């Protein structure tokens, strides 16, 4: 017995030492207006990714105006002083590029991927909307309708679509994480053009943004262009509001039933997690992998395969700047009640608390993580986002080169400790999703 | 200088100053967009190739950017018609991953996950990828899946069970329902149109699966694509070691009749009353393969029509009208048969307007030439995405595979950008005329059809479909020509006792009882004609709500609080005060439409849409045979009526099953006492 585990740890050492994370080299500088810029050169394919990360998300919203950050993401495609309504996407796409954006509780992220000979245009376009985006009533009204349809499509008309909003609402009582980025349509209807402009002037300023450029670039030329187009964007003068409230621990389990247009019941459990920068961040990621990463993961093996009580399971860390949620959910197999699945999910969590993860399983876990760390930086766009987020949340873009080292620090004892510390039954949200009894399915 | 010119000059100077200071501050004329730099050269690498003795052709794309490697096996062959065993090939694929002659599923999962690899097999190939250092183990697992499947019976039972749950999940997903209907309509009896159902899945046996594998899983004409951190030399050794012993053989071929587009555009609806959006797809089959001379031209066409967020569909339906989060169109390509599909999810109210705009865009691109600007933009976009796709090494492998499989010219991809650049406005119109067929399409809409069924009839004949894409024939029974909505109502009135007896009933006292989550709800209803109603609801013995209506006034009390209702709020109670509302149906102001015959609890029933004066409408079902009312559907919910019993010669339903969105469970309501024409104390109906 002893021999085997010794062999396993030896193997473990061996594997760990043979792998060195491929280093992503980059250069950084900051303009006088506070804009932080990161550049990564990789000339393998003649394309370039340009992204701007604004440090504003739904958590920065006025509780009477939820959905603003996401709505704004839509508005910023409307145009600028020099770009007519609807032209933004056209210009990028007619130059052979692609673009998109997303908004989370913490950030708003815009990116474009262009042929590398269009880098200057890409920088010009992003600088236009940072300098003087143009937002008019027609744009506001059209995008209001579009966002309503987005909400209907992604939440209201989709089975289990309300899972995240319903969970957030119960897990957070004081922190603005209690509402999802899509926010409230009533609030958006009530908002005036002036309010949108004020939001722009507060948050969409260079000192609240990170510009990242990666791909087939000449760094010197790139730096000149960045200066040319971005240095005249004035620094923001308003104080940027950031939530300071601390969400208290959930005092006593919160349990509820949601009736939805679904056929199979589902069980959702959510526990508070610490801040994104907490030392235990990587432990939570590993727990997610133990529970639902791959077919041999504990929840898949036990609940889906062996017991066949669920058709799908997941354990996902929703890691957020001020402390997110660790969410577990299972969709029951046909004919299985939610109340039959839930105790089995609990057992899987209890096992984590009661018994150290066996060495062999721990080795598997590290191999899985290693694979995903290596594969993580396979696209230019992916690298761009990783650099920008590391800079924003960790204050250091080089952090992306140390991810594997951070994972290696996590021990089996850490996993047990974190499970015991955070997965408390009297401090969680449990939701049952049950089929709505309706006339005509 | 006159005063006037002075002023003018000052104005000029000021203006000049302003411009100057801005220009100075910016040092940049932002109204001019930067020019493109010299176009980068796009290099398309050529993979190394070699063929094994058993016919397996191997492509190798070396790329050591990351220490990873992948192996992808494809066995090209004709699709197989599965008929009453639809789902067979998918079951073969799944079962191949669920145990080999030497490893159980659990061991396989454990070993794959242990090296963090992704390894799988399917009925027409296989895939494995891992870090380079785990390559040997990964290949050992991959080939074990490919060559030694055990097809364990108990695993088949498990995957069947999961597939059935999957089908259950789909039943409520409007997109899944839409895709089912589109597939059935567009591809019909072609294998592409087959859908699994509970029945066909249950027909599949382990024997079927073993036969399928034996017949179709062979290396002849198969391709193995190796991408990543590996040299050609090593690839040769590895391929020989793991793939050369696989015995060759011939695979049966099939030919199928090509699905045809409909002679006339028609509308296919699926009713999903809980929908807040309508999922619209306009689709029909086409013949267009990668090796067609039209292929590149149709890429341009497809992009201009609906390929992205600057395309016509998106600009019209989203950016101009705000109907949707996104509207797109695509022109598929396939060796056998493909489809054109234009789609959007829109809010229920604008369903017909959205269909109109989609059809408008389809017609416009056929009737009018696209502009030079659109053409240039499309070419730029398509060249850009071609360039971007080269970031992934598997793209190059995919190109080589396509050249081989579709017999494309060897320089097809090397010349791709050149061919794209040569496309003209006339080319685009020519392919639009050939492939865009607004008059031969299926318009498939999944949504709350009650809201728009009439309005979409202008686009073509309307038919209803179930979630599996089968046409819902209302019932075998046809409505007899002599039957009208009025005759249905009269038959009902006669069935429960006749107009004279009904009109003679001036008051009713009824007590009902229902159980919800262990609590008893008792409702006492008193009605007196005309226009008086008193309703009292008790839960667990405590009164929770009282409603009193007298003429135009109504009062609602709950938890010690009372509220007077006015105007429109009173209306629903007024109709609730009627003992036999059907007696009024034939009066002026009501509108009755006899829709069709549908089945309610196994009985054929006439479906009658009743519009009450004031705009409220509901759908009622009357038993074809007995004439009795079986069901009502309205905005308030749904009620099923059973157990009719006579009181003073008039039939009343003594059991109702009610469902509505506010109550979690269907509510079973039993009538415990019902008296007619009793004297009710006038104070009961006092509102003030």
Q: Which residues of A touch B34 (CB under 8 A)?
A: 120-121, 123-124
Q: In the sheet that B118-122 helps form, which strands lie side by side, from edge to edge?
A: B48-51, B57-62, B223-228, B68-74, B125-131, B118-122
Give this prediction's pTM.
0.73
Position with higher pLDDT, A279 vs B476: A279
- Contact of B638 with chain A, judged by CB distance below 8 Å, is answered with yes
A-proximal residues of B, 384-403, CB under 8 Å: 384-385, 387-388, 390-392
Domain A254-435: assigned CATH number: 3.30.830.10
Q: Using the beta-carbon criterion (under 8 Å), do B310 and A47 form an inter-chain contact?
A: no
Whole-number pLDDT of residue A152: 84
Average pLDDT over residues B639-656: 90
Token pair in block for residue B232: 């050609």
Which residue reads 């609906």 in tokens? B306
- From the list A22, A81, A367, the residue facing B116 with the nearest CB is A367
Q: How far apart are CA B591 and CA B241, in angstroms?
A: 79
Give the domains, in start order, of chain B with CATH numbers.
48-173+191-243 (3.30.830.10), 266-398+405-464 (3.30.830.10), 485-685 (2.50.20.10)
Token pair in block for residue B365: 């691109």
Whole-number pLDDT of residue B205: 96
Nearest chain A residue (CA) to B385: A96
pLDDT exceeds cutoff 70 at A17: no
Q: How far apart are CA B592 and CA B612, in angstroms?
A: 9
Whole-number pLDDT of residue B6: 38
Q: Using the beta-carbon criterion (under 8 Å), do A149 and B346 form an inter-chain contact?
A: yes
A-proximal residues of B, 357-376, CB under 8 Å: 376
Which residue reads 């650049």 in tokens? B421
pLDDT exceeds cutoff 80 at B277: yes
Angle between helices A338-354 and A281-292 (to 10 degrees): 130
**A25-82 tens-digit pLDDT:** 999 999 999 999 999 999 988 999 999 999 999 999 999 999 999 999 999 998 899 9
Q: Which residues contact B30 (CB under 8 A, 6 or more apart)?
A: A81, A82, A124, A128, A131
Q: Which residues of B touch A143 (CB under 8 A)?
A: 322
Distance from CA of B54 to the nearest CA of A (A): 33
Whole-number pLDDT of residue A242: 95
Q: How far is CA B310 from CA A109, A140, B212, B392, B500, in A?
A: 20, 19, 46, 25, 68
Q: Number of helices (H) and strands (E), helices first, in chain A?
A: 16, 11
Q: Using the beta-carbon criterion (under 8 Å), do B109 and A115 form an inter-chain contact?
A: no
Q: Using the beta-carbon criterion (under 8 Å), do B388 and A113 form an inter-chain contact?
A: yes
Average pLDDT over residues B170-181: 89
Whole-number pLDDT of residue B162: 83
Whole-number pLDDT of residue A19: 47
Lowest model confidence (mean pLDDT) among A150-154, A197-201, B214-218 = A150-154
Q: Using the beta-carbon criterion (under 8 Å), do A46 and B276 form an inter-chain contact?
A: no
Position with higher pLDDT, B378 vs B521: B378
Domains A27-230 and A254-435 share a fold: yes
DSSP-assigned letters across all residues of B337-371: -EEEEEEEEEEGGGHHHHHHHHHHHHHHHHHSPPP
Q: Which CATH superfamily is domain A27-230 in?
A: Metalloenzyme, LuxS/M16 peptidase-like (3.30.830.10)
pLDDT exceeds cutoff 90 at B600: no
The residues with which B520 forms a beta bridge, in sequence order, are B515
**A380-396 tens-digit pLDDT:** 999 999 999 999 999 99
**Hey, what's the torsion of the CAs at A236, A241, A244, A249, to 10 degrees?**
-120
- Contact of B106 with chain A, judged by CB distance below 8 Å, is answered with yes
Looking at chain B, the whole-number percentage of residues with pLDDT higher than 90 is 57
How buried is B643 (Cβ within 10 angstroms: 0-12 exposed, 13-18 middle, 19+ buried)? exposed
Positive or negative CA dihedral for A66, A72, A74, A78?
Answer: positive
A-proximal residues of B, 42-71, CB under 8 Å: 42, 65-68
Q: Tell me phi and psi for residue A173, to 5 degrees.
A: -105, -35
Average pLDDT over residues A273-289: 95
**B575-595 tens-digit pLDDT:** 788 889 898 888 888 888 888
Q: Using the beta-carbon criterion (under 8 Å), do A261 and B274 form an inter-chain contact?
A: yes
Q: ipTM > 0.85?
A: no
Interface test with A, best of B318, B319, B416, B640 (most A CBs within 10 A): B319
Q: Which residues of A touch B309 (CB under 8 A)?
A: 89, 93
Q: Which H or E run includes B623?
A: strand B617-623
Q: Which residues of A touch B27 (CB under 8 A)?
A: 232
For residue B4, name the pLDDT band (cuts at 50, 70, 90): very low
Nearest chain B residue (CA) to A144: B322
Pairing of strands B223-228, B57-62: parallel
Whole-number pLDDT of residue B170: 79
Q: Using the beta-carbon criterion (under 8 Å), do B66 and A145 form an inter-chain contact?
A: no
Interface test with A, best of B27, B155, B168 (most A CBs within 10 A): B168
Average pLDDT over residues B628-636: 83
Q: How far apart are CA B452 and CA B454, in angstroms?
A: 6
- From the list B26, B173, B320, the residue facing A159 with the nearest CB is B173
Q: How far apart are CA A376 and CA A38, in angstroms?
A: 19
- Contact of B353 with chain A, judged by CB distance below 8 Å, is answered with no
CA B303 from chain center: how many Å?
Answer: 23
The residues with which B262 forms a beta bridge, in sequence order, are none
- Contact of B383 with chain A, judged by CB distance below 8 Å, is answered with yes
Q: Using the beta-carbon criterion (under 8 Å), do A371 and B130 form an inter-chain contact?
A: yes
Count Cα atoms within 13 angstroms, Cβ side, for B516: 17
Query: Under DSSP, is residue B429 helix (H, G, I), strand (E, B) or coil?
Result: helix
The domain locations on chain A are 27-230, 254-435
Q: Using the beta-carbon criterion (under 8 Å), do B162 and A333 form an inter-chain contact?
A: yes
Q: How far is CA A226 from CA A122, A214, A247, B249, in A?
A: 10, 13, 40, 61
Positive or negative CA dihedral for B561, B529, B515, A440?
Answer: negative
């Amino acid at each position: 017995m002893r021999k085997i585990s010794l062999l396993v740890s030896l193997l473990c050492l061996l594997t760990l030492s043979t792998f060195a994370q491929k280093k992503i080299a980059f250069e950084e500088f900051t303009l006088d207006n506070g804009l932080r810029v990161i550049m990564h050169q990789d000339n393998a394919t003649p394309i370039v990714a340009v992204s701007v990360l604004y440090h504003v998300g739904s958590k920065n919203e006025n509780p009477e105006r939820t959905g603003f950050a996401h709505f704004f993401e839509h508005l910023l495609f409307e145009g600028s002083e020099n770009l007519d309504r609807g032209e933004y996407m056209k210009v990028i796409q007619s130059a052979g590029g692609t673009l998109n954006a997303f908004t989370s509780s913490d950030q708003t992220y815009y990116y474009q991927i262009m042929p590398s000979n269009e880098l200057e245009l890409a920088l010009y376009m992003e600088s236009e909307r940072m300098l003087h985006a143009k937002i008019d009533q027609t744009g506001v009204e059209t995008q209001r309708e579009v966002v309503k349809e987005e909400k209907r499509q992604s939440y209201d008309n989709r089975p289990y679509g309300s899972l995240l909003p319903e969970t957030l609402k119960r897990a957070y009582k004081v922190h603005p994480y209690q509402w999802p980025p899509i926010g409230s349509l009533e609030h958006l209807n009530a908002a005036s053009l002036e309010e949108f402009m004020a939001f722009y002037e507060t948050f969409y300023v260079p000192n609240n943004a990170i510009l990242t450029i990666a791909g087939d670039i000449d760094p010197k030329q790139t730096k000149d262009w960045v200066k040319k187009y971005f240095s005249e964007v004035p620094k923001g003068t308003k104080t940027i509001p950031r939530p300071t409230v601390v969400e208290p621990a959930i005092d006593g389990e919160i349990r509820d039933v949601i009736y939805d247009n679904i056929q199979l019941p589902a069980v959702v459990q959510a526990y508070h997690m610490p801040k994104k920068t907490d030392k235990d961040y990587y432990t939570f990621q590993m727990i997610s992998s133990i529970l639902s990463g791959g077919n041999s993961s504990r929840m898949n093996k036990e609940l889906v395969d062996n017991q066949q009580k669920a058709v799908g399971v997941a354990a996902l860390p929703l890691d957020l700047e001020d402390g997110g949620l660790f969410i577990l959910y299972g969709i029951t197999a046909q004919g299985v009640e939610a109340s039959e699945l839930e105790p089995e999910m609990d057992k899987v969590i209890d096992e984590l608390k009661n018994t150290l993860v066996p060495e062999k399983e721990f080795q598997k876990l590290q191999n899985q993580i290693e694979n995903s760390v290596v594969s993580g930086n396979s696209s230019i766009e992916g690298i761009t986002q990783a650099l920008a987020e590391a800079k924003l949340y960790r204050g250091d873009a080089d952090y992306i080169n140390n991810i594997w080292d951070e994972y290696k620090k996590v021990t089996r004892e850490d996993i047990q400790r974190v499970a015991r510390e955070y997965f408390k039954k009297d401090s969680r949200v449990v939701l049952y999703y049950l089929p709505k009894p309706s006339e005509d399915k | 200088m006159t005063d006037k010119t002075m002023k003018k000059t000052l104005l000029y100077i000021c203006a000049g100053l302003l411009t100057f200071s801005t220009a100075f501050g910016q040092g940049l004329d932002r109204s001019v967009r930067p020019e493109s730099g010299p176009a980068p050269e796009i290099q398309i690498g050529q993979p190394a190739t070699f063929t094994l003795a058993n016919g397996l052709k191997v492509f190798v794309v070396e790329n050591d950017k990351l220490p990873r490697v992948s192996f992808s096996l494809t066995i090209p062959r004709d699709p197989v018609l599965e008929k009453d065993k639809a789902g067979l090939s998918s079951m073969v694929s799944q079962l191949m991953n669920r145990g080999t002659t030497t490893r159980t599923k659990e061991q396989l999962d454990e070993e794959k996950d242990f090296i963090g690899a992704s390894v799988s097999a399917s009925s027409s190939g296989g895939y494995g990828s891992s870090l380079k250092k785990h390559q040997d183990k990964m290949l050992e697992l991959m080939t074990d899946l490919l060559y030694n499947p055990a097809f364990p019976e108990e695993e088949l039972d498990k995957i069947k069970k999961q597939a059935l749950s999957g089908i259950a999940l789909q039943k409520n997903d409007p997109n899944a329902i839409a895709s089912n209907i589109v597939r059935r309509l567009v591809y019909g009896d072609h294998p592409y149109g087959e859908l699994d159902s509970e029945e066909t899945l249950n027909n599949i046996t382990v024997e079927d699966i073993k036969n399928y594998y034996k017949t179709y899983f062979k290396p002849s004409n198969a391709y193995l694509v190796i991408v990543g951190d590996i040299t050609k030399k090593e690839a040769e050794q590895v391929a020989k070691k793991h793939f050369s012993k696989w015995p060759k053989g011939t695979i049966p071929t099939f030919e199928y009749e090509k699905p045809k587009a409909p002679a006339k555009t028609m509308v296919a609806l699926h009713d999903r009353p809980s929908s807040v959006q309508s999922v619209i797809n306009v689709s029909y089959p086409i013949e267009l393969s990668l090796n067609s001379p039209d292929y590149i031209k149709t890429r341009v066409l497809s992009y201009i029509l609906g390929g992205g967020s600057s395309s016509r569909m998106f600009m019209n339906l989203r950016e101009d009208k705000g109907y949707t989060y996104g509207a797109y169109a695509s022109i598929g390509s396939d060796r056998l048969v493909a489809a054109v599909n234009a789609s959007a999810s829109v809010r229920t109210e604008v369903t017909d307007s959205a269909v109109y705009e989609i059809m408008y865009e389809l017609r416009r691109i056929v009737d009018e030439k696209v502009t030079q600007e659109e053409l240039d933009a499309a070419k730029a976009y398509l060249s850009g995405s071609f360039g971007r796709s080269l970031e992934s090494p598997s793209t190059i492998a995919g190109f080589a595979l396509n050249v081989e499989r579709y017999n494309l010219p060897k320089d097809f991809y090397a010349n791709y950008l050149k061919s794209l650049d040569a496309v003209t406005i006339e080319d685009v119109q020519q392919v639009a005329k050939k492939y865009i067929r607004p008059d031969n399409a299926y318009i498939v809409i999944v949504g709350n059809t009650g809201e728009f069924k009439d309005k979409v009839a202008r686009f073509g004949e309307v038919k209803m479909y179930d979630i599996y894409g089968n046409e819902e024939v209302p019932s075998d029974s046809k409505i007899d020509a002599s039957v009208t909505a009025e005759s249905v109502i009269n038959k009902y009135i006669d069935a429960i006792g006749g107009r004279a007896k009904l009109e003679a009933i001036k008051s009713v006292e009824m007590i009902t009882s229902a159980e919800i989550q262990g609590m008893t709800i008792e409702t006492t209803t008193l009605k007196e004609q005309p226009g008086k109603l008193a309703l009292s609801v008790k839960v667990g013995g405590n009164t929770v709500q009282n409603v009193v209506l007298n003429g135009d006034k109504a009062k609602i009390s709950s938890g010690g609080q009372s509220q007077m209702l006015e105007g429109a709020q009173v209306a629903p109670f007024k109709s609730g005060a009627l003992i036999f509302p059907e007696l009024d149906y034939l009066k002026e102001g009501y509108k009755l439409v006899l829709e069709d015959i549908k089945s309610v609890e196994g009985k054929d029933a006439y479906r009658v849409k009743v519009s009450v004066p004031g705009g409220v409408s509901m759908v009622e079902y009357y038993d074809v045979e007995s004439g009795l009312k079986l069901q009502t559907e309205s905005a308030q919910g749904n009620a099923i009526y059973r157990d009719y019993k006579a009181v003073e010669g008039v039939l009343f339903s003594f059991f109702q099953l009610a469902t509505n969105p506010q109550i979690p469970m269907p509510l079973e309501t039993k009538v415990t006492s019902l008296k007619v024409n009793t004297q009710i104390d006038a104070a009961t109906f006092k509102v003030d």
